[in-house]
């Protein structure tokens, strides 16, 4: 009898563990629930519509979120990325929304923060279009900027403790605290308010335009 009970318990554990192994990922579940396109072969979710977050979401290191539409992270929700986000649309943390990046974000659209929201980067952000920070952007990793990276608004604050390589435009009309490294590579320009902390490192013929008040 004890042997039978032990076999039943072992069978239950085996079935449960198999379900855990083969369970849908959070990204897959979210993607399908939102009516978007899930490609199981590449573990990629393609978003073509306007979506609002409905809870926390974790993207695994083997997964990709491809956004061609608009994704707004709101209401104390946190999106945590360990994989790849390819954004050619609008991706924003808005009104107590949070985006934590430990993987890679490739931005060819607009990556934004709104009121009382934060983007925290521990991985890599490659920007070829627009990053607009009206709230809080904390960088502990690497940002490669080949577009426009702006900090503005009454509550705009960028804190850099990692590395920012700038080959286009960084505009600061709010607050930019630099405890790390900001490099203006050739063709890189910094305009607006000076950075607090470490100064911008200029290479080649890169130019700094200070803010002028009329």
Percent of the chain at pLDDT > 90 equals: 79
pLDDT score of 208:
52
Which band of pLDDT confidence, cut at 50, 70 and 90, is reported for residue 4? very low
Output the 3-class SS for 49-92: CEEECCCCEEECCCCEEEECCEEEECCCCEEEECCEEEECCEEE
Cβ neighbour number for residue 135 with a 10 Å cutoff: 26
Model confidence at 13: pLDDT above 70:
no
How many Å apart are CA 85 and CA 75, to the nearest integer? Answer: 21
Which band of pLDDT confidence, cut at 50, 70 and 90, is reported for residue 203? confident
**String of DSSP letters for 195-214:** PEESPPEE-TT-EEEE----
- The tokens for 27 are 């990204």
- The tokens for 149 are 């990276």
- The tokens for 74 are 């709101």
Contact 81, 105 (CB under 8 A): yes
- The tokens for 65 are 């979120």
Percent of the chain at pLDDT > 70 equals: 84
Name the residue among 196, 197, 126, 110 with its Cα closest to residue 168: 126
Which band of pLDDT confidence, cut at 50, 70 and 90, is reported for residue 186? confident
The average pLDDT across 127-150 equals 98
Which band of pLDDT confidence, cut at 50, 70 and 90, is reported for residue 20? very low
Model confidence at 8: pLDDT above 80:
no
- The tokens for 192 are 């607006």
The overall average pLDDT reported for the chain is 88
Model confidence at 211: pLDDT above 70:
no
Per-residue CA distances from 157 to 2, 18, 52, 153, 206 (Å) = 64, 46, 24, 9, 24
* pLDDT 10s digits, 73-112: 999 999 999 999 999 999 999 999 999 999 999 999 999 9
The average pLDDT across 179-192 equals 92
Query: Which residues lie below 8 Å from residue 113, measured CB to CB, with a gap of 6+?
Result: 92, 93, 94, 119, 132, 133, 134, 135, 136, 137
**3-state class (DSSP) for residue 181:** strand
How many Å apart are CA 133 and CA 149, to the nearest integer? Answer: 8
pTM over 0.75: yes
């Amino acid at each position: 009898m004890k042997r039978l009970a032990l076999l039943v318990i072992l069978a239950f554990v085996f079935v449960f563990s198999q379900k855990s192994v083969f369970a849908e990922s959070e990204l897959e579940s979210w993607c399908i629930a939102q009516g978007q396109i899930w490609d199981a072969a590449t573990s990629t979710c393609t978003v073509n519509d306007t979506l609002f977050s409905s809870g926390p979401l974790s993207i695994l290191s083997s997964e990709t979120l491809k956004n061609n539409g608009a994704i707004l992270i709101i209401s104390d929700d946190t999106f945590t990325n360990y994989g790849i986000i390819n954004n050619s649309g609008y991706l924003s943390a808005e009104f107590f929304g949070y985006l934590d990046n430990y993987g890679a974000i490739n931005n060819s659209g607009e990556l934004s923060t709104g009121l009382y929201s934060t983007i925290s980067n521990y991985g890599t952000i490659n920007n070829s279009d627009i990053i607009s920070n009206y709230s809080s952007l904390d960088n502990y990793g690497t940002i490669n900027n080949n577009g426009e990276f702006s900090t503005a608004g009454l509550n705009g604050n960028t804190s850099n403790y990692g590395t920012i390589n700038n080959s286009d435009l960084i505009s600061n009309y709010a607050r930019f605290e630099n405890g790390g490294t900001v490099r203006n590579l050739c063709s890189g320009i910094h305009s607006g308010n000076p950075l607090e902390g470490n100064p911008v490192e200029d290479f080649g013929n890169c130019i700094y335009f200070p803010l002028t008040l009329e």
